[in-house]
Structure 1
Amino acid sequence: MSTARTVAAVCAAFALAACGTSSAGDGPEAVPSSEASAEQSSPAATSSGRLLRFGSEHRFPSGLVVTVSSPNVFVPSESAYPRSARAAAFGIELYNEGQDPYRISDLSAQAMIDGKEIKQVQDITRGYNGIVNADSDLAAGDSTKVTLAFALPAEPATVELTLRPDSTKPTKVVFVGSV
């Protein structure tokens, strides 16, 4: 193989590997294959085939940067809906590095355990009432934080939290961890 072809092949491989990755590349936030064996075949996997750990940051091509905190497991209040013996809250930091305002209501979140969707918990007593100010725009250079809670089974499980910056498009990122 000629040097020019070798260089072209290496550049192409690098370009493909760089598509859809988070800002930190293949750092410690990526879940190793041994911990996420279904990662390559899972429909929840990101376009790069990786799942990110809670606490990691991801940049979308639009310039929207999301960071999802480690889950805060809590016991929902009596007034929570739906009723659940256990739930997990996730702080989601949104930072707009793009040129255009980002409509917060475009953000969609779905949590799953073992391929089954788990329900979002509304617990106003504990401060978990979905996306507040969803009808507002996040100006370029601004950030905001939303907190979402999801019902959990009684036993520990692995949660996959999928975020889409626009629910009408396939672009997504998946964060994963045990709760």
Structure 2
Amino acid sequence: MSTARTTAAVFAAFALAACGTAAGDGSEAVPAPPASPSVAASSPQATSSVRLREFGSEHRFPSGLVVTVSSPHIFEPSESAYPRSQRAAAFGIELSNEGQRPYRISDLSVRATIDGEEVKQVQDIPRGYNGIVDADRDLVAGDSTKVTFAFALPAEVATVELTLRPDSTKSTKAVFVGSV
């Protein structure tokens, strides 16, 4: 997407949010404010157009793709992990295609942030964390699969936001949050 189109889309999203209307294709809802490190998904907040979900819950995109993000598994990466980190969290993500068209698994974008700063994905082959293995595969209608992503964590407990986009070129996303 060009810079001008991206800028125009951001301004349009802010303008729509100011009018009380969610931008995008209707898959984004109003977020819940964090009352604690976990998020109550039912309380609205007017400052953003994305509904935050707790780890362990699911989200259905308009295309029919359903994603379920597991609660994080905290682990100590092996000596051969990259990047090196003393602590990491692994997230199992189940993808179910309940739509009419095949879904290309490689279109999935997964990003983790702590306090707005992106955290690095951990590649740890001995522990089985190596991203999307079947990236070139299509998920046909009615089929499902599971992928696992791991991310480096700081030594202290932090609130992680995991953002999933079924197509990295579009604004449609689901955000999962919790303390790890």
Task: Bin the TM-score by the shorter chain.
Answer: 0.7 to 0.9
Larger-Rg structure: 1
Alignment of 1:22-171 (within 5 A): 31-35=32-36, 40-41=46-47, 47=49, 49-171=50-172
> 1 CA distance for matches of 2:58 and 2:158?
22
1:20 aligned to 2:21? no
Q: Which amino acid aligns with 1:169?
A: K
* Residues 31 and 53 in structure 1, CA contact (< 8 A), matched pair in contact too: no
**Letter paired with 1:83:** R
| CA positional deviation for 1:118 | 0.0
Cα shift at 1:165 = 0.1
Is contact 1:107–1:166 with CA below 8 Å preserved after alignment? yes
Aligned 8 A contact 1:87 1:152 in 2 = yes
**C-alpha deviation, 1:20, in angstroms:** 2.7
CA–CA distance in structure 1, aligned partners of residues 27 and 96 of structure 2: 17
Scaled by the length of structure 2, the TM-score of the pair is 0.77
Contact 2:77 / 2:88 at 8 angstroms: preserved in 1?
yes
| Alpha-carbon separation, structure 1, partners of 2:157 and 2:56 | 19
Describe the shift of the 1:122–1:146 C-alpha distance in structure 2 as closer, same or farther (beyond 3 A): same
d(CA) in 1 for partners of 2:126, 2:161: 25
Unmatched segments (≥5 aa) in structure 1: 1-14
Q: Which amino acid aligns with 1:20?
A: S
| Alpha-carbon displacement from aligned partner over 1:24-72 (angstroms, at most 9, x marks no partner) | xx9xxx85552469x654xxx6x4x320000111000000000000000
Contact 1:21–1:58 (8 Å) recurs in 2? no
AA of the residue aligned to 1:113: I
CA–CA distance in structure 1, aligned partners of residues 166 and 140 of structure 2: 15
SS in 2 for 1:99: coil
User: What is the identity, as a one-letter code, of the residue corresponding to 1:86?
Assistant: R
Aligned residues: 151
Alignment check: 8 A CA contact 2:104 2:138 kept: yes
Q: How far apart are 1:21 and its partner, in Å?
A: 6.1
- TM-score (structure 1 length as normaliser): 0.78
**Identical residues among aligned pairs (%):** 74
Q: Which runs of 5+ in 2 are unaligned?
A: 1-20
Shift of 1:151: 0.2
User: Aligned AA for 2:74?
Assistant: V
